[in-house]
Amino acid sequence: MSAADEILDVVDEHDRVVAQLPRGRVYAENLRHRCVFVRARDAEGRLFVHRRTPTKLVFPSLHDMFVGGVVGAGETYDDAALREAEEELGVSGLPRPEFLFKFLYDGGARGSWWSAVYEVRCELPVNPQVEEVAWHAFLTEEEVEDRLSDWEWVPDGLAAYERLRALRAGG
């Protein structure tokens, strides 16, 4: 099955399921769906940062400081976070990612999606999926901050990062 054929839950502004449709149609019609963002840290606390492949359906070739993706039909955010983190990092046996917060991302003409943000410690050697990740490194928080204005970042990941930074600054 291709990624476009994967069935997703279409949700309303309150994150209630209103339909189940193929991903290709959800994207083509900019229908609201669910996504997970997982901030992966290595044993030293550095963040996994990567550049997406040019073949990605959404935000090709942009940098991202989260791994993650869409939540499948009937899948929980928690299960999707673990599945996506293990798939994109190319590992198995990760601890369950810790839920941090959820927000409704507004992508303008691209639509909107409910976004659940998580964090996980990955002390295993990573072997990222070549279909998803063109380049990767573990960077310190300071190195990520230094690159915010230099690199082109996925806008939903950047929105999640800014919300996380504001949340942590507020207490």
| Number of structural domains in the chain | 1
> Does residue 152 have a known ligand-binding role?
no
**CA 16 to mean position of chain CA atoms:** 20
**CATH number, domain containing residue 76:** 3.90.79.10
Q: The tokens 């310190």 sit on which residue?
A: 140
Nearest to 115 by CA among 60, 167, 157: 157
**pLDDT tens string 15-42:** 999 999 999 999 899 999 999 999 999 9
DSSP, collapsed to helix, strand or coil, labels residue 42 as: coil
Please state, rounded to an integer, the average pLDDT across all residues of the chain: 94
Q: Which domain holds residue 153?
A: 3-170
Residue 171 is predicted with a pLDDT of: 58
Pairing of β 112-121 and β 67-70: unpaired
Q: Which pLDDT band holds residue 159 (cuts at 50, 70, 90)?
A: very high
pLDDT digits (tens, 9 = 90+) for 130-144: 988 999 999 999 999
CA distance 26 to 42: 34
Tell me whether residue 75 is annotated as binding. no
Q: Please give the sequence-ordered ranges of beta strands (E in DSSP) within the chain, or none if there are none.
A: 7-11, 17-22, 33-41, 47-52, 63-64, 67-70, 98-106, 112-121, 133-139
How high is the pLDDT of residue 1?
67
For residue 33, which phi and psi values (nearest 5 degrees)? Answer: -140, -165
Question: Mind listing the pLDDT tens digit for each residue in 39-60?
Answer: 999 999 999 999 999 998 789 9
